């Protein structure tokens, strides 16, 4: 047995070797420079903390899973893309000329082709969204597919589960995919009644103790999507939780936005669901019988863009950048977790400096204190260039939206942070046209009435410990 006086030097040597080895590995991963420097900084200054934290949240290698998802995408995407092109000859004429570049970018990134919906409805609160969801489930004839980051076994979660049980008893196929980390209370006892009736219920990417590594925090499905009978779908920021609805928690309910789509674009959300289902199940249903390829075309263009650790080039990130760069009149953004990278900060600054009305709305009451601290450190450099930043006062604002000019808006699951753009599975819907942009702009302006505008230099007036904590949070922002 080693003498105690030799134990500390030996541990120091072991940790030093780990730090050097991990630093080389991190450099070879070719992350963004800020993230690489952040991790090496953490390993050098706090090795006893940095090493275990890196193994918990740091690794990003996912090659085997990438190949699995790529095979699934290739299996379904080719036929669906051809069908959409054949059914949507009117798409190009329905999209404003200024937005054609964004459509082309999305397609070039491997996202869905723009498709015309017959009906689009936007929900600005949980009560109306859940009511529409329950109505849609009740009307299902063939299948119901759901994928959520959070499904709470509370009053709304239980009510929806019981409605789904009724539909399974009627012969409707049900597949429910819930993130294993986002929904820790979604346990076997809660899902057993569904499974006993024949429903398929899976937990996405469940961490295993012998290869926990980054699975606990990274590579989560942050999506909130529903597809019913292939042609009716929902996408947006709301999870299944009574925290989202005034029906259960009155004025404390989170402010959020969700979207209902009827028609051809729902096929692309079906593809997004089936990809993750195939990955989680190692098989499952093929696309045959689950795509509504003969659905009647509509007149409202929508483009579905999905991204995750399995996709190259961070598609949602690039779509956001293109929307900001292409704006001529306004860019209005809502993001609950606003931790932009250098390219987004630069894009917002450039837009404001060329005369675009750039506004960012974030919650004053944030359920993630570290993210809020980091977010505030970006205020001055944005305000200095003319960006206006507002904090929503009444409650948590959980929506993830963007409005560009008068004819484009985005609703989805992605926050403006590195985790959403590169580490988690996310999806957004890009809506082209005047009507929905105007509707979203009216909701944004209504939210501003209950917000305060941040002023330049506010961060400097805060006590030193809070400013230091915020500065440390910003250093960690590439890792958040």
pLDDT tens digit sequence for 340-354: 999 999 999 999 999
Q: How far apart are CA 145 and CA 177, in angstroms?
A: 8
Q: Is 405 a catalytic residue?
A: yes
Whether 90 and 297 have beta carbons less than 8 Å apart is answered as: yes
Catalytic, out of 145, 287, 400, 436: 400
What's the average model confidence in pLDDT over 304-317?
89
**Is the model more confident about 245 or about 464?**
245
Side-chain-side CA neighbours of residue 432 (13 Å)? 26
Q: Is 398 a catalytic residue?
A: yes
Lowest mean pLDDT among 99-103, 105-109, 363-367, 474-478: 474-478
Confidence of residue 8 (pLDDT cuts 50, 70, 90): low
Q: At what angle do helices 63-87 and 265-281 cross, to 10 degrees?
A: 160
Catalytic, out of 99, 179, 341, 405: 405
Give the per-residue pLDDT at 367. Answer: 83
Is the confidence at residue 63, as pLDDT, over 70?
A: no
Catalytic, out of 99, 179, 229, 417: 229
Confidence of residue 15 (pLDDT cuts 50, 70, 90): low
Give the per-residue pLDDT at 248. Answer: 85
Give the per-residue pLDDT at 144. Answer: 98
Give the per-residue pLDDT at 211. Answer: 47
Choose the most confident range, by mean pLDDT, from 13-17, 52-56, 211-215, 272-276: 272-276
Cβ neighbours for 151, distance < 8 A, ≥ 6 positions apart: 157, 176, 178, 183, 186, 239, 240, 241
User: What letter would DSSP give residue 331?
Assistant: E
- pTM exceeds 0.75: yes
Q: How far apart are CA 378 and CA 456, in angstroms?
A: 10
Which backbone phi and psi does 208 adopt, to 5 degrees?
A: -115, 135
Give the per-residue pLDDT at 104. Answer: 81
Give the per-residue pLDDT at 213. Answer: 43
Give the per-residue pLDDT at 35. Answer: 66
User: What letter would DSSP give residue 358?
Assistant: E
What's the average model confidence in pLDDT over 67-86?
60
Cite the DSSP H helix spans in 298-433: 315-326, 342-353, 369-376, 379-383, 418
Q: Is 154 a catalytic residue?
A: no
What's the average model confidence in pLDDT over 286-313?
83
Whether 400 and 238 have beta carbons less than 8 Å apart is answered as: no
What's the average model confidence in pLDDT over 250-272?
93
Is the confidence at residue 61, as pLDDT, over 80?
A: no
Whether 126 and 160 have beta carbons less than 8 Å apart is answered as: no
Is the confidence at residue 46, as pLDDT, over 50?
A: yes
Catalytic, out of 143, 167, 222, 436: 222
State the burial class of residue 248 (Cβ atoms within 10 Å of its Cβ: 0-12, 13-18, 19+): middle
The superfamily (CATH) of domain 315-479 is: Endonuclease Chain A (3.30.870.10)
Per residue in 162-203, pLDDT (tens digit) is 999 999 999 999 999 999 999 988 888 899 999 999 999 999
Catalytic, out of 143, 145, 167, 224: 224
Percent of the chain's residues with pLDDT above 70: 75
What fold, for 63-92+116-300?
A: Endonuclease; Chain A (3.30.870)
Residue where the block lists tokens 């009155």: 250
Lowest mean pLDDT among 69-83, 357-371, 374-388: 69-83
User: What letter would DSSP give residue 223?
Assistant: -
Domain 63-92+116-300 identical in fold to domain 315-479:
yes
What's the average model confidence in pLDDT over 255-284?
88
What is the enclosing helix (H) or strand (E) of 388? strand 388-392
Catalytic, out of 398, 407, 436, 447: 398
Average per-residue pLDDT for the chain: 84
What are the residue boundaries of the structural domains of the chain, listed by start? 12-47, 63-92+116-300, 315-479
Give the per-residue pLDDT at 98. Answer: 72
């Amino acid at each position: 047995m080693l003498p105690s006086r030799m134990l500390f030097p030996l541990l120091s040597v072991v940790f030093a070797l780990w730090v050097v080895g991990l630093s080389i590995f991190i450099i070879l991963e070719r992350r963004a420079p800020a993230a690489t420097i952040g991790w090496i900084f953490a390993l050098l200054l706090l090795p006893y903390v940095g090493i275990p934290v890196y193994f918990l949240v740091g690794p990003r290698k996912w090659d085997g899973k990438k190949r699995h998802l790529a095979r699934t995408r290739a299996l379904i995407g080719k036929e669906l893309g051809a069908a959409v092109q054949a059914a949507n000859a009117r798409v190009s004429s329905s999209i404003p000329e200024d937005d054609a570049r964004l459509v082309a970018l999305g397609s070039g990134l491997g996202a869905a082709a723009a498709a015309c919906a017959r009906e689009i409805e936007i929900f600005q609160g949980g009560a109306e969204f859940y009511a529409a969801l329950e109505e849609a489930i009740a009307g299902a004839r063939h299948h119901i597919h759901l994928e959520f980051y959070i499904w709470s076994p509370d009053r709304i979660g239980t009510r929806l589960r019981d409605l789904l049980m009724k539909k399974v008893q009627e012969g409707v196929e049900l597949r429910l995919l819930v993130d294993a980390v986002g929904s820790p209370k979604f346990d076997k006892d809660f899902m057993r009644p569904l499974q006993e009736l024949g429903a398929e219920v899976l937990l996405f990417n469940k961490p295993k103790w012998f290869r926990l590594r980054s699975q606990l925090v990274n590579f989560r499905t942050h999506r909130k999507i529903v597809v019913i009978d292939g042609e009716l779908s929902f996408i947006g920021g709301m999870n299944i939780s009574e925290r989202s609805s005034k029906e259960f928690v009155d004025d404390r309910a989170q402010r959020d936005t969700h979207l209902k789509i009827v028609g051809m674009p729902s096929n692309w959300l079906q593809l997004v669901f089936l990809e993750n289902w195939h990955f989680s199940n190692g098989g499952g249903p093929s696309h045959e019988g689950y795509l509504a390829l003969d659905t009647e075309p509509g007149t409202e263009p929508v483009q579905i863009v999905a991204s995750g650790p399995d996709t190259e080039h961070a598609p949602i990130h690039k779509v956001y950048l293109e929307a900001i760069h292409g704006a001529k009149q306004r860019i209005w953004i809502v993001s609950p977790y606003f931790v932009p990278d250098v390219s987004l900060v630069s894009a917002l600054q450039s837009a404001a400096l060329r005369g675009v009305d750039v506004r960012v709305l974030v919650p004053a009451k944030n359920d993630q204190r570290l993210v809020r601290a980091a977010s505030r450190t970006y205020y001055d450099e944005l305000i200095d260039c003319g960006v206006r930043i507002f904090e929503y006062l009444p409650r948590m604002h959980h929506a993830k939206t963007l409005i560009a000019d008068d004819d484009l808006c985005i609703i989805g699951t992605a926050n403006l942070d590195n985790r959403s753009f590169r580490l988690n599975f996310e999806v957004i819907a890009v809506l082209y046209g005047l009507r929905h942009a105007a509707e979203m702009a009216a909701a944004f302006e209504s939210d501003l009435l209950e917000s305060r505008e941040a002023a330049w230099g506010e961060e400097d007036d805060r006590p030193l410990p809070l400013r230091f904590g915020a500065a440390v949070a910003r250093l960690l922002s590439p890792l958040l």
